């Protein structure tokens, strides 16, 4: 199994239980969407998976290796295999699309070349090929601030791919985009899954889009997994994900 999440819990200092005993696994090449209402714990889960947040208990295993128990060098190597794209793109706006993609290579570079941003011909060629893959070959030298939202998300996908991830986490990747552009981005992620075997774990509050592009859905509600099954399930089966909890009923 590519990714295993075992009994992961997370409570914040304000005593909010963001995740409660969450367990699931993702096999290589799958497109899985984590769905659920706002506040369900979706972003917290992604932050724990990409190492920007620590869980209180439980384990995350990548290729069978528990991330939290790996030594720091090994952990960095494992974490590097988990790419993330975000709703707000998280790009450097005043540099070019190409520079943004190249920046993904910086952690693998040493000393002077890294300090001077001397990426070398091979990395430049790879970054350009990735921009071509996301259909932005003609925008490589444009500053990101001049690109549309959909183009920015394409740059961020190319940047994530530059690190050769075994799994791509997508945190509400189309929530800032208009519906047509959003679908184009999801088509691209779907193509990368189908043609290049990329594994995708996407967070979304949009049930319709998640059903259309995923193989499998994970329903999160109040920090718990309340559904784990096929994306084409009867909608009635998915209602419990959005049903209001007892504690919220007035």
| Contact set with ligand ADP (CB under 6 A) | 12, 14, 16, 18, 36, 38-44
Question: How far apart are CB 130 and ligand ADP at their closest, in Å?
Answer: 28
Identity of the residue, 150 or 223, whose beta carbon is nearer to ligand ADP in the bound complex: 223
User: Which residues are CB-neighbours of 65 under 8 A, at least 6 positions away?
Assistant: 74, 78
Name which of 41 and 83 has its Cβ closer to ligand ADP.
41
Minimal distance, residue 179 CB to ligand ADP, in Å = 20
CA–CA separation, 21 vs 223, rounded Å? 8
Neighbour-count burial of 100, counting CB atoms closer than 10 A to its CB (0-12 exposed, 13-18 middle, 19+ buried): buried
Min dist CB 224 to ligand ADP, Å, is 12
The two three-digit tokens of residue 142, written as one number? 């444009």
Between 36 and 150, whose beta carbon lies closer to ligand ADP?
36
Quote the tokens at residue 143: 């500053």
For the chain, the residue count is 250
CB of 90 to ligand ADP, least distance (A): 16
DSSP 109: -
Give the strand pairing for 57-62 and 224-230: unpaired
CB 200 within 8 A of CB 26: no
Of 39 and 113, the one with the shorter C-beta distance to ligand ADP is: 39
**From the CB of 135, what's the least distance to ligand ADP, in Å?**
29
Which is it for strands 82-86 and 167-171: parallel, antiparallel or unpaired?
parallel
Closer to ligand ADP by CB, 39 or 149: give it: 39
């Amino acid at each position: 199994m590519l990714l295993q999440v075992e009994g992961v819990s997370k409570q914040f200092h304000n005593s909010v239980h963001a995740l409660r005993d969450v367990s699931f696994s993702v096999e290589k090449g799958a497109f899985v969407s984590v769905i659920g209402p706002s506040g369900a714990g979706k972003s917290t889960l992604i932050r724990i998976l990409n190492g920007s947040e620590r869980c209180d208990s439980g384990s995350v295993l990548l290729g069978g290796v528990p991330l939290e128990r790996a030594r720091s060098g090994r952990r960095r190597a494992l974490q590097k295999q988990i790419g993330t794209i975000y709703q707000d793109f998280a790009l450097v706006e005043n540099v070019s699309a190409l520079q943004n993609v190249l920046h993904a290579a910086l952690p693998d570079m040493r000393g002077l070349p890294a300090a001077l941003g001397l990426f070398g011909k091979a990395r430049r060629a790879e970054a350009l090929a990735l921009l071509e893959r996301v259909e932005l070959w003609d925008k490589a030298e444009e500053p990101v601030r001049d690109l549309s939202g959909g183009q920015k998300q394409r740059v961020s996908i190319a940047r994530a791919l530059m690190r050769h991830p075994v799994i791509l986490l997508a945190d509400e990747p189309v929530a800032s985009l208009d519906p047509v552009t959003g679908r184009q981005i999801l088509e691209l992620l779907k193509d990368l899954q189908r043609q290049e075997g990329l594994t995708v774990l996407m967070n979304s509050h949009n049930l319709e889009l998640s059903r259309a592009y995923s193989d499998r859905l994970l329903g999160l509600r109040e920090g718990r997994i309340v559904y784990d099954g096929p994306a084409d399930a009867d909608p009635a089966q998915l209602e419990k994900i959005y049903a209001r909890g007892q504690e919220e009923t007035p």
